Amino acid sequence: MTSQEREPGEPPVIAVLGASGFVGSAVTAALAHRPVRLRAVARRPSRVPAAGTARAEVRRADLTRGGEVAEAVSGADVVIHLVTHSGGWRAAEKDPASRAVNVGVMENLCEVLRGERREGPAPLVLYAGAASQVGLPPGGPLDGSEPDHPETAYDRHKLAAERLLMEATADGVLRGASLRLPTVFGHVAAPHAADRGVVAFMIRRALAGEPLTLWHDGTVKRDLVHVDDVAGAFVAALDRPGALTGGHWLLGAGRGDPLGEVCRTVSELVAARLGKPPVPVVRATPPDDAPATDFRSVTIDSSSFRSVTGWRPRIPLRVALERTVAALAEAHAT
């Protein structure tokens, strides 16, 4: 049954692509508590909380194949595109499979939706972009008005996918909006969904008793947002699609957290958890392939997205770090 053939009162269909990933698992868990028909799609099995109100189904699919994308989004009112290559920016520089995931899935999605015949509204597509698409950040906070000059292959991939989304929006194929993510961290209770970002990396090092190494003097800042708050942003976007369609929107806490202070807090929290002395935070020589963006501070002004949706990060940084340390310490002990 398509969205146009639905019986009156039937809830909307939301397809989450990449539902088994780190951000995907958090978004799926948040949507499970809404009165929707939730379709969790990923290469690996996804976990949907059983206590939710959504009518959920889990599908496995290789979304680099157009036919499987077509089945995944058939009849969907909303598509949330969270698929990204698991290798991150390093893999994007060398692995051809990275582009097939980071850009190819969006190519397939837009092609599939161009071929659909709908009498009602075009489907809403929310895409997880990256704040780093801008390239080397300016001196002040990013607010989304900056021109994009991506520095890494990964960010060029993200920008290419976002442009495909905007072209399809301009053509009336879909209603697209890109939520450009900050540095996301935390823990989700799902297999295959480990956080591989800088905060989780440092926590795991501290749990192993290893020093926390920085490639700079520790004053470089990142805009850190807990994964549950990022999931909340996607949920908030569902309620204001008209105002968001056709644009990219930055998410962030607006603080700009010095990584040296973050690492010292992590060391302190892990030490208290283990009953051991805190591991040192030291400066290390960066690798030759370290991107220039790693040495520039990032603070994000997300006031535009906040004014449209009412969203804001709700988990304070220290609380978010405490939760993440507790979860990773438990996992480390098993």
Q: Are 186 and 26 in contact (CB under 8 A)?
A: yes
Q: Which residues of 183-199 are buried (b: 16+ CB within 10 A; e: fewer)?
A: bbbbbbebeebbbebbb
Highest mean pLDDT of the ranges 83-92, 145-154, 185-194 = 145-154
Burial call 264-295: b when 16+ CB within 10 Å, e when fewer: bbbbebbeebbeeebbebeeeeeeeeebebbe
CA gap 241, 227 in Å, rounded: 21
Domain harbouring 34, CATH code: 3.40.50.720
In a domain, 84, yes or no: yes
The answer as to whether 245 is a domain residue is yes
Structure-token pair, residue 183 = 């540095």
Which residues touch 251 (CB under 8 Å, ≥6 apart)?
131, 179, 180, 181, 182, 225, 230, 233, 300, 302, 305, 311
The alpha carbon dihedral of 89, 91, 96, 97 has a sign of negative
Tell me if 238 is assigned to some domain.
yes
User: At 214, phi and psi to the nearest 5?
Assistant: -120, 150
86 versus 126: the higher-pLDDT residue is: 126
Task: Indicate whether 277 belongs to any domain.
Answer: no
**Quick check: 4 pLDDT over 50?**
no
Say if residue 148's pLDDT is above 70. yes
* Per-residue confidence (pLDDT) for residue 91, from 0 to 100: 58
pLDDT of residue 1: 32
Q: Which domain holds residue 51?
A: 13-186+225-253+301-307
6-32 mean pLDDT? 91
Query: How many whole angstroms separate alpha carbon 172 and alpha carbon 169?
Result: 5
Q: Is residue 172 part of a domain?
A: yes
Alpha carbon 217 to chain centroid, angstroms: 28
Q: Is residue 212 part of a domain?
A: no
pLDDT score recorded for residue 193: 78
- Per cent of the chain over pLDDT 70 is 95
pLDDT at 116: 87
Tell me what the pLDDT averaged over the chain comes to: 92
Q: Which amino acid is at 104?
A: G
* Residue 14 DSSP symbol: E
Which residue type sits at 2? T
CA pseudo-torsion sign 161, 163, 164, 170: positive
Q: What is the pTM of this model?
A: 0.94
DSSP 115-148: H---SSPPPEEEEEEEGGGG-S--SS-B-S-SPP
Rg (CA), the chain: 20
Domain-embedded: residue 211:
no
- 123-146 mean pLDDT: 95
55 located within any domain: yes
Please give the pLDDT value at position 6. 56
Domain count across the chain: 1
> How far, in Å, CA of 123 to CA of 173, rounded?
8
* Mean pLDDT to the nearest integer, 227-251: 97
Q: At residue 322, does pLDDT exceed 50?
A: yes
**Residue 237's closest CA among 25, 18, 81?**
81
**Tens digit of pLDDT for each residue in 257-288?**
999 999 999 999 999 999 999 999 999 999 88
